[in-house]
Chains A and B, each alone.
Chain A
Amino acid sequence: MTSRAIGWRTGSLERAHPLTASARSITFTVSSWPGNDAGQHVDVRLTAPDGYQAVRSYSIASTGAGEEIELAIDRLPDGEVSPFLVDDLELGDTVELRGPLGGWFVWRPEQTQPVQLIAGGSGVVPLIAMTRAHASAGSSVPMQLLYSLRTPDDAFFRDELSQPSATARTTWHYTRAVPSGWSRSAGRLTAEDLKRETLPPEHVPLTYICGRTGFVETVSRALISLGHVPDNIRTERFGGT
């Protein structure tokens, strides 16, 4: 699963379903896909009839062996690639894919350190791959997720994350609007929230943070101020179009 992956493969859209009003899960069949570790990403290349090409990196939500990979794409209003993947790509259509890529923002079942996952919005995608890998390996390593969202309607994979059988507990945090009956008011994640909702520095967790650049900056700085060691914090920022 960690062999060097060079060159572009063709992926054919096998299944798709909406995740939210702006996001879609898309599963490709990729012939001779070598499988992937949780947290790895793939580059997607689209070529226009005039030869113009656009390449974007997307985290893989699925994990393990097999020739299918699931991506979960949020439509960026000014995006060049994401609106096409969310709105226009039909079953059987093909795109070019390069991967699996990356070895740093990765969780492997043989790791023994407690794991804290922190997602901002669609940054949950590589982290759900980690919770899936954790469940399918039957890992006994403590793993928990703090998922920060604008509103309850923006959640990806809510049913899966809320299942009683989930091996990683999810704590939900809302920044703009909360569900009815929610005990806390909406607001950005603060150092106090992180202190209350994440594994403390004494447990020496390995923390994975994925979200927009501003979110990742804020959260990683707050964790360091709480006493976490920078080398135990792995980050994956996304931004742009």
Chain B
Amino acid sequence: MDHLDGNVLAGPSTDLFAFEATTTQCQCQSCADIAMLGQAMVYGQPMGFVARCRNCDNVLIVIVERAGQKSLNMRGLRWLRVADQATNDRI
């Protein structure tokens, strides 16, 4: 199955986060790779989205959209670094 980029999470994540998710830096729990969420490999639709590490394939984030609700699982992230709005917009 073809994957997309983390960029595609920008829309669905507006319902989940108050910050721009795709320019948020995060670290993979499994291999310690640090990347923007926009650089992750995303397998999407129709149920939701699975974001995997670009380096080791570890599942970083799962978003399931169903019955008017979104479930968010972030077990594959060690951390997520949210820049202040001013810099986050200018990465």
* Chain A residues packing against B (C-beta within 8 Å): 2, 4-7, 41, 43, 55, 57, 98-99, 101-105, 108, 212-214, 234-240
Contact = CB atoms under 8 A, between A and B. Distances in A.
A4 B14 contact: yes
Interface in B11-39: 11, 14-15, 18-20, 22-23, 36-39
Contact of A237 (B3, B36, B45, B88): B3
Contact of B36 (A104, A212, A238): A104
Interface of B: 2-8, 10-11, 14-15, 18-20, 22-23, 36-39, 44-45, 88-91
Contacts, number: 71
B18 A4 contact: yes
B45 A6 contact: no
5 tightest A-B contacts by CB? Answer: A104-B38, A101-B10, A213-B2, A43-B11, A103-B23
B14 A236 contact: no
A237 B14 contact: no
Contact of B14 (A2, A101, A235, A240): A101
A104 B4 contact: no
A6 B15 contact: yes
B39 A104 contact: yes
Contacts of A4: 14, 18-20
10 contacts: A7-B14, A55-B11, A57-B8, A103-B23, A103-B38, A104-B39, A108-B90, A237-B4, A239-B2, A240-B2
Contact of A240 (B5, B19, B22, B45): B45
B31 to A, nearest CB: 15
A41 B18 CA distance: 18
A105 B6 CA distance: 10
A152 to B, nearest CB: 27
Given A4-B20, A98-B11, A99-B11, A105 B3 contact: no
Given A2-B89, A4-B20, A240-B45, A102 B14 contact: no
B87 to A, nearest CB: 11
Contact of A103 (B11, B15, B22): B22
A233 to B, nearest CB: 10
A103 B38 CA distance: 8
* Residue picked from A41, A98, A103, most chain B C-beta under 10 Å: A103
Contacts of B4: 213, 237-240
A177 to B, nearest CB: 25
Contacts of B11: 41, 43, 55, 57, 98-99, 101
